[in-house]
């Protein structure tokens, strides 16, 4: 069994209203040197919010989460950090329209399947 931490990625179209849509999962296991982000932006559901939102900018910002998680050089200097630092940076408290839940712990025998399970439970 592998110990892991995960956080839910949320889109908060109007921060002052504190309404959000879950759009992704970040899962991290220090001992297994594993970090993965899975994101899906439900554009149809976003139209239910009465607000102006630059969808392309949101997609770009969410893509940065994936790049940083993957350690891609296109993710900038944070993507070059070690896995724990990347996870902590990605899950830091923010007041922007893209936020994460607090990290939660768990145990699993298959980290990849756990990413899929958590994504299905909290996002799909």
pLDDT digits (tens, 9 = 90+) for 16-31: 888 899 999 999 999 9
Of residues 90, 107, 85, 75, the one with CA closest to residue 24: 90
Q: What is the pLDDT of residue 47?
A: 76
CB 8 within 8 Å of CB 101: yes
Domain ranges, ordered by start, for the chain: 2-122
For residue 3, report the phi and psi dihedrals to the nearest 5 degrees.
Answer: -80, 140
Q: What is the pLDDT of residue 48?
A: 76
pTM here is 0.92
Task: Provide the percentage of residues in the chain whose pLDDT is more than 90.
Answer: 74
3-state secondary structure of 76: coil
pLDDT digits (tens, 9 = 90+) for 41-93: 988 887 777 778 888 899 999 999 999 999 999 999 999 999 999 999 999 99
Rounded to whole angstroms, the Cα distance separating 69 from 67 reads 5
CB 42 within 8 Å of CB 59: no
Rounded to whole angstroms, the Cα distance separating 119 from 43 reads 17
């Amino acid at each position: 069994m592998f110990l892991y931490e995960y956080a839910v990625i949320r889109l908060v179209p109007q921060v002052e209203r504190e309404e959000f849509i879950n759009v992704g999962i970040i899962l991290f296991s220090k001992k297994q040197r594993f970090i993965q982000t899975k994101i899906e932006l439900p554009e149809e559901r976003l139209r239910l919010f009465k607000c102006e939102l630059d969808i392309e900018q949101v997609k770009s910002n969410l893509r940065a989460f994936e790049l940083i998680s993957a350690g891609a050089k296109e993710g900038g200097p944070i993507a070059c950090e070690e896995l724990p630092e990347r996870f902590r940076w990605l899950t830091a408290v923010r007041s922007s329209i893209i936020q994460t839940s607090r990290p939660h712990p768990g145990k699993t025998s298959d980290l990849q399947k756990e990413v899929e399970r958590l994504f299905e439970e909290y996002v799909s």
